[in-house]
Amino acid sequence: MVFAALAFSKHLFERGPLLRSLLAFGLFCVLSGVVYLLNDVADVERDQLHPTKRLRPIASGELSVRTAAGTAVAMGVGALAASWLLGAGFFASAACYLALNLLYSFRLKEVVIVDVLSVSLGFVIRAIAGGAAIGVAVSDWLLICTVLFALFLSLAKRRHELTSLSAAAPGHRAILAEYSPYLLDQMIGVVTASCLMAYAFYTTADETRQKFQTDRLAWTIPFVLYGIFRYLYLVHQKEKGGSPTDVLLTDRPLLLAVALWAAAVVAIVYTAPGPPGPLRP
């Protein structure tokens, strides 16, 4: 998501913006590490009851809670300090991302519906930060598609947790008692349709055609359709979805669809005659 603004502003192959985006990516990797460490510290007792999470370093005792917490604080302070190198806008985005995820780890994940919305908002902040890092405005369409797709992944993850743990689910994560497979399926259905429609509207909108001077971006819709349907197949038929990253990296058809979509977007956007978006100093 950090690279989305770079790619769609047509600065992907420019050294300066690319280096700034790479630094932004690295800093958000560090901030994500901070969040994971603190979240695992907060959830250590519950993770010890989970069939796979009990193998994590903190839950298994391989990494002490004190060491993990100290490392997280040091990483967080260092990443926020380094964020100033990319400007006040990026620093604000990084600080908001960290604050949101701390709230999620210690409170928001216990509030029904707000928990998945909070996770999704984290993806939106990443996209905004990517634009702030190189000084370009982030499209409203990008933010809409981002939050809907992130909701899709978050709800699918909740469904996997609920169905895989069965009766033990509330013991691992209390908020799961507020959900049911039927409710999550209804929510996933709404978000899936909204995500597909939003992307279709974006690629065919007059604003998009004028910006890129082409209507060929709509050609990428089949890749998005297949990718989302493939993910739903894996969630419902193969009982996956607990880790979207693992699903993406281990399912070859899904990985191929994502790679083809990315290649098609870059080919269409960068061969169109429209000029790159302006960079702010």
Task: Choose between 246 and 81: higher pLDDT.
Answer: 81
Give pLDDT, residue 278.
66
Query: With contact defined as beta carbons under 8 Å apart, do 62 and 84 qualify?
Result: no
State the Cα–Cα distance between residues 32 and 184, nearest whole angstrom: 26
- Give me the chain's average pLDDT, please: 89
CA–chain centroid gap for 154, Å, is 9
The domain spans of the chain are: 1-138, 139-281
Give pLDDT, residue 236.
87
Residue 122 identity (one-letter amino acid)? G
Query: What's the chain look like in SS3?
Result: CCCHHHHHCCCCCCHHHHHHHHHHHHHHHHHHHHHHHHHHHHCHHHHCCCCCHHHCHHHHCCCCHHHHHHHHHHHHHHHHHHHHHHCHHHHHHHHHHHHHHHHHHHCHHHCCCHHHHHHHHHHHHHHHHHHHHHCCCCCHHHHHHHHHHHHHHHHHHHHHHHHHHHHHHHHHCHHHHHCCHHHHHHHHHHHHHHHHHHHHHHHHCHHHHHHHCCCHHHHHHHHHHHHHHHHHHHHHHCCCCCCHHHHHHHCHHHHHHHHHHHHHHHHHHHHCCCCCCCCCC
pLDDT score of 73 more than 80: yes
Give pLDDT, residue 249.
85
State the Cα–Cα distance between residues 165 and 175, nearest whole angstrom: 13
CA–chain centroid gap for 259, Å, is 17
For range 53-74, the mean pLDDT: 87
Per-residue model confidence as pLDDT tens digits over 98-116 = 999 989 988 888 899 999 9
Query: With contact defined as beta carbons under 8 Å apart, do 184 and 159 qualify?
Result: yes
CATH domain 1-138 topology: Tetracycline Repressor; domain 2 (1.10.357)
- Per mean pLDDT, which of 6-10, 37-41, 91-95, 247-251 is the most reliable? 91-95
Q: Tokens for 59?
A: 């839950």
Give pLDDT, residue 277.
66
Give pLDDT, residue 61.
83
Per-residue model confidence as pLDDT tens digits over 140-188 = 988 999 999 999 999 998 888 888 766 666 666 678 888 888 999 999 9
Per-residue model confidence as pLDDT tens digits over 238-255 = 888 777 888 888 899 999
State the Cα–Cα distance between residues 21 and 70, nearest whole angstrom: 28
Give pLDDT, residue 55.
80
